[in-house]
A and B are shown apart, each in its own frame.
Chain A
């Protein structure tokens, strides 16, 4: 055991380029690289473009009609015509309950026996909405839109309940930057962050862990290659690969999914580069600390992919999380990337928004590189 560091080796551009050529050759030779750099981004964009949609419509509900009067039938028709619901008529509430347990329907609209009589008597008719609480999001949706349809029906029929509810204040909402309220517009830019995490952290962690596992790392360390050269030679190829993949995603997002791109390319590459620093640094750190491909892959999944997916504000609002989880999100580099990407695509270049985020990402980048430097060096002692 020699506590002194290895005799200082001068930085050599020739050695570095030789190392990078080797690294590139390794990337190009392995078919899984194409899988991750080309197929993965396409798959992710495809899934987030088509499969993940928070724009609810056509929710399956049952309609239980206990009354056959004209007003009851009219209201039933209004529900059938609503684009929010796909209505199926059922004979009784127990039947609807069975269907709901089987997850065939998400809610029940009950028009009770005395509905027509109430309307004729000029009194406020009452209906019942039953929702499937096991799907809370769909449940609140059904409650909100079910009431909306009913209020509209009351208004068009000129019934008393409606007039009493005429609002004193009329709120007219305007949704900036995404007036069509397409969830795809924010999910697709967000999925670019996931692609970059995949390449930056997961792939890098696996590659370097493999070198440790196979013992080629020791072989490398015995050569005159210095730490800086080693790290740079590992980083640059994956940095370029990630940028290439990000470019591909951006092109597809704009041309295939019609997501507007209102910012500048310079800002896009600057933000992406800033994010790749912590992503690559974390990948290096995980691989040097674990030196086992299976463990590295699991840790990388837990420390980078899942937080990018769940703790970055990508789909789930950070402000709604408990305070201790909100604190954790500050340590997730993607938290700074995703709002920047969404702003870049939908709003434009808002530098006062980008710069603090870029600074935070670079800060994490330095931290992770420092840590992986320490871990790699100590292990050679």
Chain B
């Protein structure tokens, strides 16, 4: 027990010894949390649109006026010719260009529907589709005043996030992502650094037993991960006002098990690498698929079927569902456990695989 304590103290010191490294443990994750929370939105706002108005009538002016007045558009660029239009799109000066033909006003008054063209930049096809939706909506709005029709027919309700605030989605997800990046980065360095510095052999000839070395390696990233996770949990509520509706008694066990699964992965990479450079690259090769297959970057159901099967071995997938569920949906214990048992399984596999590899590398 005394040996174990000495080992843990040594590991914590080697992590915190360098003042730069101390700062790196806390500051970059916080910066990431703040910047990326605001940056990662799939909303489309403040875009610039061009107009090529060949009609010059009252109705076309009205349509352009409505587009200019929409909060989703920032600037309307008036074009004189189709050459201008091509240039504005090609140079990505605007994302879309509305083309109103000379006969627009006449068609609108005599025999509707009048047709308008909309050229969109397919290089940003996702944003372009949303912009096309905005324009169609504005165009549809032109007639509801002329023909007072029955509105509705469909009543839309958004549960858990009534105003569809994107931050409510991003922030809980970022907690998962940032805890993962930091956790893997720290763990993957522990063994390879000793190997590169030559202190690994000293460790092996010391009276420490294998499990003591391993526990000593697991504790510091576990503590850092718990600290970061708790910090973000508080920041999300205090700074960003994201409601946390679930139980803390469910959050922490899930965080602990996720950290163990993650640390197992990191130790595996670290035991495999001979140098810190290799272990860093190795952890990167693990982190990127971990993030992308978790369902954060894009929904899992959009992926091809065979890849959806692969996502089942991604521990971040389960933790992401738990964290989002606990934040917004007051996820009950049954559902948390439903996500938790695969996580326990993954943690067992990664930890024992890394212990096995560590032992075989010792000989």
Contact = CB atoms under 8 A, between A and B. Distances in A.
Interface stretch (A244-252, A274-282, A321-329, A360-368): A321-329
Contacts of A125: 153
B301 interface: yes
A183 B152 CA distance: 32
Interface stretch (B4-12, B159-167, B209-217, B350-358): B159-167
A94 interface: no
B76 interface: no
B41 A320 contact: yes
A210 B46 CA distance: 45
A57 B285 contact: no
Interface stretch (B199-207, B219-227, B270-278): B270-278
Nearest to A302: B28
Contact of B143 (A56, A103, A140, A168): A168
Interface stretch (B230-238, B256-264, B328-336, B340-348): B328-336
B299 A302 contact: no
B20 A295 contact: yes
A297 B114 CA distance: 58
B301 A60 contact: yes
Interface range for A:
35 or more
B41 A164 contact: no
B125 A175 contact: yes
Interface in A52-88: 52-60, 86
A133 interface: yes
Contacts of A302: 28, 31-32
B159 A178 contact: no
Interface string A19-56: 00000000000111001100110011001101111111
Contact of A290 (B20, B36, B129, B153): B20
A53 B302 contact: yes
Contact of B329 (A54, A101, A160, A320): A101
Contacts of A198: 284
A130 B159 contact: yes
A154 to B, nearest CB: 7
Nearest to A311: B39
Given A167-B139, A297-B280, A298-B24, A133 B150 contact: no
| Nearest 10 CB-CB pairings of A with B | A178-B122, A133-B161, A164-B149, A168-B143, A133-B158, A175-B122, A169-B139, A32-B278, A170-B113, A53-B302
Given A165-B149, A181-B125, A316-B42, 14 more contacts: A44-B288, A51-B303, A59-B299, A59-B301, A60-B301, A124-B152, A126-B152, A136-B166, A139-B164, A147-B154, A169-B108, A175-B129, A293-B280, A316-B40
Interface of A: 30-32, 35-36, 39-40, 43-44, 47-48, 50-60, 86, 97, 100-103, 124-140, 143-144, 146-147, 150-151, 154, 160-161, 164-179, 181-183, 185-186, 198, 202-203, 206-207, 210, 290, 292-295, 297-299, 301-302, 306, 310-311, 313, 315-317, 319-322, 325, 328, 339, 342-343, 346-347, 350, 352-353
9 contacts: A31-B278, A126-B152, A130-B158, A134-B161, A164-B149, A178-B123, A186-B123, A293-B280, A310-B36
